[in-house]
Amino acid sequence: MASELKNDRFIRALLRQSVDITPVWMMRQAGRYLPEYRETRKRAGNFLNLCKTPELACEVTLQPLQRYPLDAAILFSDILTIPDAMGLGLNLVEKVGPQFDKTVRTASEIKALSVPDPESDLGYVMDAVRLIRKELDGSVPLIGFSGSPWTLATYMVEGGPTKEFGLVKGLMYDDPASMHHLLDVLADSVILYLNAQIAAGAQAVMIFDTWGGILTPSSYQQFSLNYMQKIVSQLDRQHDGQVIPVTLFTKGGGDWVRDIAATGCDAIGVDWTKNIGDVRAEVGDQVALQGNLDPCVLYASPEVIRQEVAAVLESYGQGNGHVFNLGHGIHQHIDPENVAVFIDAVHDLSAQYHI
Ligand code: CP3
């Protein structure tokens, strides 16, 4: 429970309550830039075994927290667990990325899909959540997550990573009814999946809409935001007497933050293509903001990292409602020493904005 948290800065900031210093965590904080992650992954054999073995998922979730004074833990898993549970057969191919054995491209393939049961089909995720909560022992809150329906649909239709999104956008333009059916099944799946994570102990949830930003403004509304709104409206926003904050992150969605705020989410993730202060001016005190250091800043020297952190803090300005993060996931070739500089800079330089 948040009331038992030794460090509840992250939850307080998401709810726009006062904090002493700005909380910070990093998207992909458990990952390949850490040698101990690479070692555990080797022991697991492959990435999926790592996700599907709760003890190992728990171990890698905790690794960045053992190195750095982070203000939140994020469940180690992947957004593609849902399509995998729908029977598409996920593989992670070295240097290529995620690949599915089966794709979903026709009306009949879409009609054949069903909503996975979180405890029976994705029980390994819920077991990991329960184990991580136990191991964290109230030190920091645990974030649960899911992909957005649109982002999951892009991988299911394309079968893997793409630069053009020709198949998924072709389907959207040619057969919008089937695309809406696919997105509906995915939205229902995400609602059950996130509510099960909350029941298992996730203290905040985040929806990753990595590919919402490739849509036109009107198709973003119809095919991505609409379904995230449906999810937000059906999530369990309270558990064990505590509020469960919901964060929506559309990469490339900086022009649509007012619409995103109107879904009723608690916070918006902001990538590095906007000044976070400008976004704050647009949304006012409706939502908290999470972001938005360019992940490539972590390739720079410690002095530059501190300067760039200072610039983001100054851009957001005085007061509550800021969770510091990168604008997207940390890259695999970042030096772990630079991450320490980054985290310390956020904590050291932010106290002046909370007086
Ligand atoms: O943030 C965290 O530390 C939690 C773990 C996490 C992973 N994936 C682990 C992972 C989270 C939150 C995700 C989300 C995810 N997965 C997203 C949305 C966020 C984003 O980055 O935009 C997406 C689009 C995916 C799909 C996915 N999974 C891709 C494109 C890849 C390949 C990426 C790459 O860099 O090779 C994965 C694999 C993956 N998921 C890795 C990790 C640590 C790399 C696996 C490895 O090789 O060990």
Q: Residues 103-124: what's their mean pLDDT?
A: 98
Average pLDDT over the chain, rounded to an integer: 97
Catalogue the active-site residues.
Answer: 28, 32, 41, 78, 155
10 Cβ closer than 6 Å to some ligand 1 atom: no
Q: Provide the pLDDT for residue 227.
A: 98
Task: Return d(Cα 346, Cα 312) in angstroms, integer.
Answer: 9
Listed range (3-12, 56-65, 150-159, 326-335) with the worst mean pLDDT: 3-12
- Could you tell me if 174 and 38 are in contact, meaning their C-beta atoms sit under 8 angstroms apart? no
What's residue 95's pLDDT? 87
The two three-digit tokens of residue 325, written as one number: 């993060």
Q: How sure is the predictor about 1, in pLDDT bands with cuts at 50, 70 and 90?
A: very low
Nearest CA to ligand 1 atom 45: 47
Closest C-alpha to 119, from 131, 127, 110, 111 = 127
What band does 87 get if pLDDT is binned at 50, 70 and 90? very high
Does the global pTM surpass 0.95?
yes
Rounded to the nearest whole angstrom, what is the distance from the C-alpha of residue 3 to the centroid of ligand 1?
31
The answer to whether the CB of 40 is under 6 A from ligand 1 is no
* Nearest protein Cα to ligand 1, atom 39: 78
The dihedral over CA atoms of 28, 31, 35, 40, expressed in degrees to the nearest 10, equals 140
Residue 117, SS3 per DSSP: coil
The residues, ordered by sequence, that sit 6+ positions from 200 with a Cβ below 8 Å of its Cβ are 126, 129, 130, 133
Average pLDDT over residues 300-312: 98
CA-proximal residue: ligand 1, atom 35 (nearest)? 97
Q: Kindly provide the b/e burial profile for residues 142-179, where b requires at least 16 CB atoms within 10 angstroms of the residue's own CB.
A: bbbbbbbbbbbbbbbbbbeebeeeeebbebbeebeebb
Q: Which of 10, 25, 28 to mutate to test the pocket of ligand 1 (most atoms within 8 A of CB)?
A: 28
Q: Say if CB 132 and CB 55 are below 8 A apart.
A: no
For ligand 1, say whether the CB of 2 is within 6 Å of any of its atoms: no
Nearest to 257 by CA among 271, 243, 244: 271
Can you tell me the mean pLDDT for 180-204? 98
Q: Is the CB of 145 under 6 A from ligand 1?
A: yes
From residue 23, give the alpha-carbon distance in Å to each of 260, 314, 331.
Answer: 22, 15, 21
Question: How much distance in Å is there from the Cα of 90 to the middle of ligand 1?
Answer: 13
Q: What is the pLDDT of residue 2?
A: 46
Helix (H) or strand (E) run with residue 238 in it: strand 238-239
pLDDT of residue 308: 98
The 10s digit of each residue's pLDDT in 223-238 is: 999 999 999 999 999 9
pLDDT confidence of residue 3: 52
Q: Is the CB of 295 under 6 A from ligand 1?
A: no
Please write the tens of the pLDDT for every residue from 99-113.
Answer: 999 999 999 999 999
User: What is the percent of the chain with per-residue pLDDT over 90, rounded to a whole number?
Assistant: 98
Distance 6 CA to ligand 1 centre (A): 28
For residue 327, the CA-to-ligand 1 centroid distance in Å is: 15
| Cα–Cα distance measured from residue 39 to residue 283, given in angstroms and rounded to the nearest whole number | 43
pLDDT per position as a tens digit, 49-73: 999 999 999 999 999 999 999 999 9
Identify which of 198, 96, 196, 110 has the alpha carbon closest to the alpha carbon of residue 152.
Answer: 110
